[in-house]
Structure 1
Amino acid sequence: MDQTTVQLLCPECTKDWQHSPGELPSAAKMFHCPNCHASRRMSEFMRTDRDLQTLKQLG
């Protein structure tokens, strides 16, 4: 079975990666980029609106 992932993109350093939505904080919680340690709401790291909706549904 395929595991659902969301695409993330750091708005500061532009690092992009994928992660399981169940292992991420909710969209309104603070998140820290693993590359540059920028701190923003999780929703700001979602690459697309679809990724944000997936996080909200499955996170």
Structure 2
Amino acid sequence: MDETTIQLLCPECTKDWQASPDDLPTPADMFHCPNCHASRRTSEFMRTDRDLQTLKQLG
């Protein structure tokens, strides 16, 4: 079985990466970019609406 990943994109430095929903806080919690340390709600780092829905369902 394939592990589900979420596509992330930093709105400040444009770093993109993938993470498991288990490794991310809820969409409303604060999250920090591992590259530039920007702090925003986790939902603002989602690359697509589908990634946000996946996080809400599995996170």
Number of residues of Structure 1 aligned to a counterpart in Structure 2? 59
TM-score, structure 1 as length reference: 0.98
Q: Partner of 2:36: helix, strand, or coil?
A: coil
What is the deviation of 1:22?
Answer: 1.3
Distance 1:56 1:22 in 2: 11
Distance 2:22 2:32 in 1: 17
User: After superposition, where does 1:1-59 map in structure 2 within 5 Å?
Assistant: 1-59=1-59
What is the deviation of 1:23?
Answer: 1.2
Q: Could you list the per-position Cα deviations for residues 11-48 of structure 1 after superposition, in whole angstroms to 9, with x for gaps in the alignment?
A: 00000000001110000000000000000000000000
TM-score, structure 2 as length reference: 0.98
Gaps of 5+ in 2: none
Percent of pairs with identical residues: 85
Query: What is the alpha-carbon root mean square deviation over aligned residues?
Result: 0.4
